[in-house]
């Protein structure tokens, strides 16, 4: 997305075989020469990455994280990055699947953590020019809302995968959409699911609410609803199939 408008340098511990168009892989030191540095690393990897890059960053550099949780990485960046660099918290609320489906305008969360150079407004304008919908939200508000949107989606997707659900010739539209949720969430690394649950302080509340809601729905069923009868009881037999041995009218035999 940015590569069509800016020079984009990427770095990785391994050689990436297939890079997006317009992206150039370079050594870490060269990538950190850029005026704006985006961190696209796992949430759990943030402390180690920040300790590595902190002594290499030039004064005035803007560091932008893209983690799916916000309170934890913001705290780590404020603690581990030098005061001479600015910090912007971001969370693009879309991935490759959403981008391919052209679900525009795609939303992105932005929050100025440290904005001494005044680059936040410039970055915001850049994203707006790319057609993104800017949502300004504090890290605390983000994590609370994300737990009950993104967090619960990933939880449901993993639960569905654990049920070994498969496509069906008689699957309804609703069922097919459930499979889409399962496939989309489970296509992400398991590390992301674990990090979402571990590092968002509100996901425990979400999981507890999910468990309570499941129990509430389960309790809507009576003991008879939960029972699996071996056969249909006579008083529940379909019309016209009553047992004639009890003195009732015999079943119709097709003759008048």
Q: Which of 66, 63, 18 is nearest to 40 (CA)?
A: 66
Which conformational region is residue 247 in: left (phi greater than 0), alpha (psi within -120 to 50 degrees), or beta?
A: left
Q: What is the pLDDT of residue 235?
A: 60
b/e code 102-135 from CB counts within 10 Å (16+ = b): eeeebebbbbbbbeeeebbeebbeebeeeebebe
The DSSP letter of residue 46 is H
Q: What is the pLDDT of residue 251?
A: 47
Q: Which CA distances in Å does 252 have to 86, 196, 237, 244, 249? A: 86, 64, 15, 10, 9
Which phi and psi (to 5°) does residue 221 adopt?
-85, 135
Sign of CA dihedral 121, 115, 65, 149: negative
**pTM here?**
0.82
pLDDT tens column, 113-150: 999 988 999 999 999 998 899 999 999 999 999 999 99
Which conformational region is residue 29 in: left (phi greater than 0), alpha (psi within -120 to 50 degrees), or beta?
A: alpha
Q: What is the pLDDT of residue 254?
A: 45
Q: Which of 40, 33, 34, 26 is nearest to 6 (CA)?
A: 34
Q: Which domains does the chain have, with CATH numbers?
A: 2-137 (3.40.50.720), 144-221 (no CATH)
- What is the distance between the alpha carbons of residues 180 and 175, in angstroms, rounded to a whole number? 9
pLDDT tens column, 147-192: 999 999 999 999 999 999 999 999 999 999 999 999 999 999 999 9
Six-digit token string for 254:
């097709």
């Amino acid at each position: 997305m940015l590569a069509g408008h800016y020079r984009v340098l990427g770095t990785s511990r391994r050689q990436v075989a297939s890079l997006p168009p317009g992206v150039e892989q370079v050594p870490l030191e060269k990538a950190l020469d850029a005026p704006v540095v985006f961190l696209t690393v796992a949430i759990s990897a943030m402390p180690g990455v920040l300790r590595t890059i902190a002594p290499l960053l030039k004064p005035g550099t803007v560091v932008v994280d893209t983690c799916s949780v916000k309170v934890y990485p913001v705290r780590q960046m404020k603690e581990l990055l030098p005061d001479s660099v600015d910090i912007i918290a971001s969370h693009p609320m879309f991935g490759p699947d959403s981008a391919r489906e052209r679900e525009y305008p795609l939303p992105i969360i932005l929050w100025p953590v440290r904005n001494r150079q005044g680059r936040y407004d410039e970055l915001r304008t850049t994203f707006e020019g790319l057609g993104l919908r800017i949502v300004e939200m504090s890290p605390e508000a983000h994590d609370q809302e994300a737990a009950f949107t993104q967090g619960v989606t990933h939880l449901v997707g993993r639960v569905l995968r654990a049920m070994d659900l498969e496509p069906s010739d008689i699957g309804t539209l609703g069922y097919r959409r459930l499979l889409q949720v399962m496939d989309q969430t489970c296509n992400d690394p398991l590390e992301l699911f674990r990090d979402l649950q571990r590092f968002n302080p509100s996901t425990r509340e979400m999981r507890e609410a999910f468990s309570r809601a499941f129990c509430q729905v389960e309790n809507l069923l009576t003991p008879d609803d939960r029972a699996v009868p071996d056969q249909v009881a006579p008083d529940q037999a379909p019309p016209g199939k009553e047992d004639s041995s009890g003195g009732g009218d015999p079943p119709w035999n097709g003759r008048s």
